[in-house]
Structures are given as structure tokens and as C-alpha cells.
Structure 1
Amino acid sequence: MDHDLDLLTQGADRDGIDKHVVGAVIHNDRHVLILRRSGEDGFLPGIEELPSGGAEPGEDLVQALARELAEEVGWRQPLQLDPGFVATFDYTTGSGRRARQFTFSLAHDGTPISLSAEHTSHRWITPDELAHTTLTAESKNTIMTWAGQAASRLQTG
């Protein structure tokens, strides 16, 4: 794997981050999967987001991502992360904790999306459609960063 997970988490710890969160840009060609949070959720109800969630004690970032994707979208295959992509942003959780989200990217494996009760719907969007979403600015920036890197890989690959 191209990501040095220990360096990522050590950097977050040095910065005073006390919650590690993982997310995924799951892509199918130029389309990215986004989920809509339940309206009953206590944190950002009804907003659209990338699949994501907090790491549990003892999990590294990839283990946490595999668990979260299994829980949120029914992903059962081994993760094949895109090399060289990890985007981060910091935020304050609903309970006031300092969190850093580490977002990786991977191609959709064709498995039908099976949502958990945390989400009410999903859709596939292109980066051109970001203005028509309720994604946070941080998630929009993550998708744009991914799209820029994907375009560069296509031009040089």
C-alpha cells in the first residue's frame, strides 16, 4: 500500500486530534457514490456525505474503512485502494471532539449498494454536479481533489 497509515495517524495525534474518521470516494468511471444521512440522525441530519465513520480502538485506518463500508453500503470485497490518494480535513464532532477524516478512494466493484439504517438513499454524481448536492464544503473539496488526480492519471497513463 502507498499510504503510510502510521504517519497519517501520528500526525493527527501530534496535532491534538482525538478522533480518527475514515471515508471513501467510491467511484465508477467519473461518478462518485454519495449517501443521504437519515433525517433522524443527531449530527447533520439529512445531509449528503461520502461513506464514512469513526475508527474503533485498535483499528488501523484501512481496517476501519473496511468495517465502515461493510456497515454503510454492504461492501464485502477486500479493499483495493487507489494508490497515492488520501485527502484529509479536520472538524469538530457533534460531541465537541476534534476529528480528522482520512478519505481514500477505490473503484466500485459492482456489488449492489445495501444501505444501513443510518442512510436513507444513495446516488452517483459527477464532480460537475457538486453544486446540486448538500455535501459539506470539505466533502466537495475532497471529491474535486480526487477528480483532479483521476484526470491527471488518465492524461499520463
Structure 2
Amino acid sequence: MDAILTSLDQLGRTAERDGLTCVVGAVIRDPDGRVYLQRRAPHVRLFPDCWDIVGGHVEPGETLPAALAREVTEETGWRLDRITDVVHVFDWTGADGQRRREVDVLATADGDLGQPRLEAGKFTEGRWFDEKGLQELLTKEEASGDAAMIKLALRALTSQQTRPGGTVLPLTSR
């Protein structure tokens, strides 16, 4: 089994063992080297009106790659293609009091990347950003106090640790 998939499997098992709800996210990179972010709707329960990466909660019995594939399709209409690196793993507690372990990866997707199909009621816009665009967005959004996902996307975009080939996912939906 590929090292990335093994790592994701282990991260999912340890989150379960630690009694944490697992969340998975993808910094999706396009062929031009840009990353995709989407703005959460102002009425959503967690992180309203914030820029975010694609992702969500892992359902019981679901693997992290399968959850990520589902979330990519639900939130954008695209199909998860490759996971190229694990970018960040951290624990957090939401305003709802639920403890979570988030696993964020760098990934690619297939589909009409120029026309994401935003999940109705959850997001208000989606955009591709290059490094300069992320820096500008970060400067603008830091004043609001919630720029964590912008910083994560910027770090993922500029990281020299990304693997060019990545892992083609063994998903039954392919």
C-alpha cells in the first residue's frame, strides 16, 4: 500500500482511538499550480463567511480517502484524482463543543475545474488562487481574525515537500 494511504489509514484509526471525530480536507491544486478555496455561507454553523478548503466530516465506517472523494464531489462536482501529500494534521474543538482531528492533504481533481458546482446553501463562491492571490487574500482576511485555511493553502502551494506523481486513489467510483 502506498505510504500516503497507509498514513491516512493510521491517522483515521488513531483519531477513532482518541475519541475524536475525523475531518478531512483537500487543498486542490490545478495544472497551472493554483489552489482552490471556497467561501462558506454566512449562515453555516461552523466558520461562517470564512474561506475554506474542500472537505468535511468522515462518516462512520468511511476511510479518509473515501470521505474526501465524497466531499470533493458534493462541494464542487469534481472527482478526486490524486492525493500528493499530507499537509497538516491538527486537533480542534468547534463552537459546538465537538472535538475533531483534521487531516488536510494536497490533492488534484478531475472535471470542469473552471466551473465548480458549489454545494447549495453551504458556499457562496469558489476561486482559484496563485501564490500572489493567496498573499493578497491573506492580507485582506487577517483583519477578520480567521485566515487559517488561507495560510494552510499558501503553505501547501509553496511547499517543496509535495510529491509530483502522487497517489492515484483506488476508489470504486473511478
2:61 aligned to 53, 58, 63, which one? 58
The secondary structure found in structure 2 opposite 1:79 is strand
Aligned to 1:7: 10
Contact 2:80–2:108 under 8 Å retained in 1: no
1:22 aligns with 2:9: no
2:153 aligned to 137, 143, 152, which one? 143
Query: How far apart, CA to CA, are the structure 1 residues paired with 2:127 and 2:80?
Result: 23
1:63/1:132 Cα in 2 relative to 1: closer, same or farther (>3 Å)?
same
Aligned to 1:126: 130
Query: How far apart, CA to CA, are the structure 1 residues paired with 2:126 and 2:80?
Result: 22
Aligned to 2:43: 40
1:100 aligns with 2:101: yes
Where in structure 1 are there 5+ consecutive unaligned residues?
Answer: none
CA shift at 1:48, angstroms? 0.8
Where in structure 2 are there 5+ consecutive unaligned residues?
Answer: 165-174
Query: How far apart, CA to CA, are the structure 1 residues paired with 2:66 and 2:162?
Result: 28
The secondary structure found in structure 1 opposite 2:66 is helix
Query: How far apart, CA to CA, are the structure 2 residues paired with 1:66 and 1:60?
Result: 10
Contact 2:16–2:22 under 8 Å retained in 1: no
> Matched residues, percent identical?
31
The normalised TM-score by structure 2 is: 0.74
Aligned to 1:109: 110
CA shift at 1:85, angstroms? 3.0
Post-superposition Cα deviations, 1:80-100, rounded to whole Å, max 9, x if no partner, equal 211x43421221123211111
CA shift at 1:144, angstroms? 3.5
CA shift at 1:148, angstroms? 3.5
Across the aligned residues of Structure 1 and Structure 2, the Cα RMSD in angstroms comes to 2.4
Contact 2:40–2:47 under 8 Å retained in 1: yes
The normalised TM-score by structure 1 is: 0.81
